[in-house]
Amino acid sequence: MSENHLTEELDEAKITVNEFVSGTKKLYIESYGCQMNFADSEVVASILRSNGYSTTSDVVEADLILLNTCAIRDNAEQRVRNRLSILNSNKKRNPELKIGVLGCMAERLKTKFLEEEKMVDLVVGPDAYRDLPNLLAEVEEGHKAVNVFLSREETYADITPIRLDSNGVSAFISIMRGCNNMCSFCVVPFTRGRERSRDPYSIEKEAKELFDQGYREVTLLGQNVDSYLWKSETEQFTFANLLEKIALIHPDLRIRFSTSHPKDITDEVLYTMKKYDNICNYIHLPAQSGSSRILELMNRTYDREWYLGKIDRIREILGEECGISHDLIAGFCTETEEDHQDTLTLMDYVKFDYGYMFYYSERPGTPAAKKYEDDVPEEVKKRRLNEIIAKQQEHSLERNQMTVGKVYRILIEGESKRSDEDLCGRTDQNKMVVFPRKHYKKGEYVNVRILSCSAATLKGEIVD
C-alpha cells in the first residue's frame, strides 16, 4: 500500500460522536505498510483525540508528527528514513514540534531508533498505543520516550477508531492482532507479537455503528483471519461464525476480509461465503511460491498440491468467478530457475485476478536470515519478479475480459479519479468499475453492464 496522507474528513455522524472533544493541539499522522497499520492509525487518532489532539492533513501546522511504520521489506524502512529526514526540516522551523515513530519499524528497532535517528522523540510499538498520552507527557518534559512492550491480550476492542482518509462507504475493522506462524522470511511475528482474537461482540458493535453512519462495506482484518478463535466460558466463535454474525447485521452491508492463509481456510468459511450474498466472493490467498521445496524452506506448512487443492475447492464451492488474488515472492534463498518456473506454472493453473508481487528482502533476526544465505543475485530476483508481474498482467486482463457483457452489482465508492462525470465502485469479486454517473451517488448500489476492460479496470454503464 502506498504512502497515504491521512486527513481529517469527518462526516456529520462522526463529528457528533466526537463533539465533546475540542482538540487544541494538532496531530499529523502518516501510515505505511498494510491495512492493519492504517486501521491502527485510526485507533491512535481516537486515543489522542480524547487527549486534546485534533488531526490535520497539513504537516506545517502540526504540533506532533507520527509516522506509523512498516518493516516488511528493507525498502519500506528506507522510505521512512527518507521521510524522517525531510520532516526534520519542520523541526528547524518549529522547535516545539515533536516527532514520533509507531508501528512495526518502531517495534523492530526499539531504542536503537533513537540512536540512529536523532530527531525522533518518541518510539511506540503496535501494542502500546494506550500509553501514548503518558509517553507524550514525558516528551513534553523534554525526555525521549519509548514503549515497545508486546501484549498477549491487547486488541483495542473498546476504542472506536476515528476514520481517517475515508470515503464514508468502506472501512477496515481489525478482528485480531499478531501472528503465530513463523514463515521464515517474515518479520511480522517479531513486530506484532502473539496472535489474539478480538471479542466478536465488539466487532459486531463497530460494524453496526458504521452501517448506521452510512458505511456499506467493512473489511475484517488480520494477518491470518482463518485462525480467528474467540472463547468465553459459554461460547466459541470461529472465523466462519464471526463472518455469519457480521453478515446478519444487514444485507446491504458488504463484508470482505484479509488475509487468508492456505493452510487454515476451511470449507466452513467457503460455505458461509456461499450462504450470504453480502459476503463478497473474493479471497486473497497468498501463495508466496509455486515450488514445494521453496515453500518448505519458507515454513509455509503447505505444498504446491495443497495450495492448488484449495483453489479447486474455492472454485467448486463458490464458482469459477470467485475473485482470487495472491502474494508471491521472487528469489527467496536457494531459488533455482526450476523453482521459479514452478511459480509461473502455478500462476498459469490458477489465473489469479490480481496479485501483490515482491522480490525477497532479508529481514534481520528472521529464521531465514539466521538459517539460509540470501544467495539469489539482485538482478536475477528482479528479472524473475518482472516475469511474474508480466504474467499477472496477462491473467488480470484475461480474467477481466470474462466480465465483458455481464451485469454486476456495484457499491459506489465515489467519483472516478479521471473524471467527475464518472463514478467508480467494485464488483463483489473486488474488480474496480468506472461508469457514467447519471443521478447516482456514493454509498448506493447499482447494476452495471461491463462494456470494456483493461488489466486494471472495467468500464461499464448503469442498467436501471
C-alpha to C-alpha distance for 463 and 56, rounded to whole angstroms = 40
Query: Which of residues 77 and 413 has its CB atom nearest to ligand SF4 in the complex?
Result: 77
Q: Under the criterion CB under 6 A, does residue 36 sit at the interface with ligand F3S?
A: yes
Sign of the dihedral through C-alpha 336, 289, 345, 292:
positive
Local structure of 450: helix, strand or coil: strand
- Beta strand pairing call for 458-462 and 445-453: antiparallel
361 binds, among ligand SF4, ligand F3S, ligand SAH, none (CB under 5 to 8 A by kind): ligand SAH
Q: How far is the CB of 33 from ligand F3S (least distance, A)?
A: 3
Residues 248-287 that bind ligand SAH (CB under 6 A): 259, 261, 286
Residues 321-350 that bind ligand SAH (CB under 6 A): 327, 329
- Are 150 and 107 in contact by the 8 Å Cβ rule? The answer is yes
71 binds, among ligand F3S, ligand SF4, ligand SAH, none (CB under 5 to 8 A by kind): ligand F3S
Q: Under the criterion CB under 6 A, does residue 108 sit at the interface with ligand SF4?
A: no
Q: How far is the CB of 348 from ligand SF4 (least distance, A)?
A: 24
265 contact partners, CB below 8 Å, separation of at least 6: 226, 283, 285, 310
104 assigned ligand-binding residue: yes
- Residue 88 dihedral angles phi and psi, to the nearest 5°: -55, -30
Report which residue type is found at 275.
K
Query: Stretches 94-102, 152-160, 185-193, 392-400: which one binds ligand SF4 (CB under 6 A)?
Result: 185-193
List 43, 70, 423, 424, residue binding ligand F3S (CB under 6 A) = 70
Local structure of 446: helix, strand or coil: strand
Cα dist. 319→231, 241, 275, 323 in Å?
33, 22, 13, 10
Residues 259-298 that bind ligand SF4 (CB under 6 A): 261
Query: Which of residues 31 and 224 has its CB atom nearest to ligand SF4 in the complex?
Result: 224
- Are 176 and 202 in contact by the 8 Å Cβ rule? The answer is no
List 68, 174, 219, 223, residue binding ligand SF4 (CB under 6 A) = 223
C-alpha to C-alpha distance for 314 and 316, rounded to whole angstroms = 6
List 172, 237, 257, 360, residue binding ligand SAH (CB under 6 A) = 360
Helices 378-401, 337-350: inter-axial angle, 10-degree rounding: 10
Query: Which of residues 34 and 453 has its CB atom nearest to ligand SF4 in the complex?
Result: 34
Q: How far is the CB of 218 from ligand SAH (least distance, A)?
A: 19
Residues 151-190 that bind ligand F3S (CB under 6 A): 187-188
List 47, 71, 120, 279, residue binding ligand F3S (CB under 6 A) = 71
Cell numbers at 434, concatenated: 468506472
- Are 13 and 208 in contact by the 8 Å Cβ rule? The answer is no
Q: Under the criterion CB under 6 A, does residue 33 sit at the interface with ligand F3S?
A: yes
What string marks each residue from 62 to 101 as x (binds ligand SF4 by CB under 6 A) or -? Answer: ----------------------------------------
Cell numbers at 82, concatenated: 527518507
Report which residue type is found at 179.
C
66 binds, among ligand SAH, ligand F3S, ligand SF4, none (CB under 5 to 8 A by kind): none
The strand pairing partners of 320, in sequence order, are: none
Radius of gyration of the chain (CA): 22
Q: How far is the CB of 238 from ligand SF4 (least distance, A)?
A: 18
183 assigned ligand-binding residue: yes
Query: Which of residues 25 and 194 has its CB atom nearest to ligand SF4 in the complex?
Result: 194
Work out the number of other CB atoms within 10 angstroms of the CB of residue 289.
25
Q: What is the largest CA-CA distance in the chain?
A: 65
C-alpha to C-alpha distance for 65 and 116, rounded to whole angstroms = 18
363 binds, among ligand SAH, ligand SF4, ligand F3S, none (CB under 5 to 8 A by kind): ligand SAH
Query: Which of residues 13 and 369 has its CB atom nearest to ligand SF4 in the complex?
Result: 369
Estimate to the nearest angstrom the gap between the alpha carbon of 35 and the chain centroid.
Answer: 2
Q: How far is the CB of 190 from ligand F3S (least distance, A)?
A: 9
Report which residue type is found at 416.
S
186 assigned ligand-binding residue: yes
Cα dist. 181→184, 215, 325, 359 in Å?
9, 33, 21, 21
- Residue 34 dihedral angles phi and psi, to the nearest 5°: -85, 175
Work out the number of other CB atoms within 10 angstroms of the CB of residue 219.
18
Q: How far is the CB of 324 from ligand SF4 (least distance, A)?
A: 17
- What is the contact surface with ligand SF4 in residues (CB under 6 A)? 179, 181, 183, 186, 188-189, 223-224, 261
| Residues of the shown chain interacting with ligand F3S in the complex, contacts defined by CB under 6 A | 33-34, 36-37, 70-72, 103-104, 187-188, 191-192
Annotated binding-site residue numbers for [4Fe-4S] cluster: 34, 70, 104, 179, 183, 186
Binding site for ligand SAH (CB under 6 A): 72-73, 185-186, 188, 223-224, 259, 261, 286, 288, 327, 329, 358, 360-361, 363
